[in-house]
């Protein structure tokens, strides 16, 4: 089955620790995205990548880093510089048909700070 997988489903971070969230897609989509969702709120864009080996900051990139070494994979690292990392993290990928783009989302990873 084609789709987007995120792992783990739950992740715990200790103070001062970096953690990495995995996102993999087998949809052959070029673009991938990371969003953060806080309780009762909408989605905010952290980083996005439109092509392998290239990525751009979104609206709230501080304290996060990404890499895009393979088309299928777009891992997100939450660094110790991110002082309030507790949130639900959603990865997405998109296909562009003509001028129209449609994003599809993974199941999410919930990050909790110990």
Partner 1 sequence: GNSVTQMEGPVTLSEEAFLTINCTYTATGYPSLFWYVQYPGEGLQLLLKATKADDKGSNKGFEATYRKETTSFHLEKGSVQVSDSAVYFCALTQGAQKLVFGQGTRLTINP
Which 76-95 positions form the footprint of partner 1 (CB under 8 A)? 90, 92
> If you write DSSP's letter for every residue of 56-93 in order, what string do you get?
EE-TT-TTEEE--SBTTB--EEE-TT-S---EEEEEEE
Under the criterion CB under 8 A, does residue 102 sit at the interface with partner 1? yes
Q: Which of 34, 48, 64, 74 binds partner 1 (CB under 8 A)?
A: 48
Smallest gap from Cβ 101 to partner 1, in A, equals 5
Smallest gap from Cβ 33 to partner 1, in A, equals 8
Smallest gap from Cβ 105 to partner 1, in A, equals 4
> Which residues does 21 contact at the CB level (< 8 Å), separation at least 6?
6, 7, 11, 34, 75, 76, 77, 78, 89, 91, 109, 111
Provide the binding-site residues for partner 1, judged by CB under 8 A: 6, 33, 41-43, 45, 48, 58, 90, 92, 99-108, 110
């Amino acid at each position: 089955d084609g789709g987007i997988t995120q792992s783990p489903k739950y992740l715990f971070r200790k103070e001062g620790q970096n953690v990495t969230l995995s996102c993999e897609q087998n949809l052959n989509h070029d673009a991938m995205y990371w969003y953060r969702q806080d309780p009762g709120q909408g989605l905010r864009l952290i980083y996005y990548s439109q092509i392998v080996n290239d990525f751009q900051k979104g609206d709230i990139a501080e304290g996060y880093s990404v890499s895009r070494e393979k088309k299928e994979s777009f891992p997100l690292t939450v660094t110790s510089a991110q002082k309030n990392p507790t949130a639900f993290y959603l990865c997405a990928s998109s296909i562009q048909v003509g001028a129209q783009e449609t994003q599809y989302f993974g199941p999410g990873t919930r990050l909790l700070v110990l």
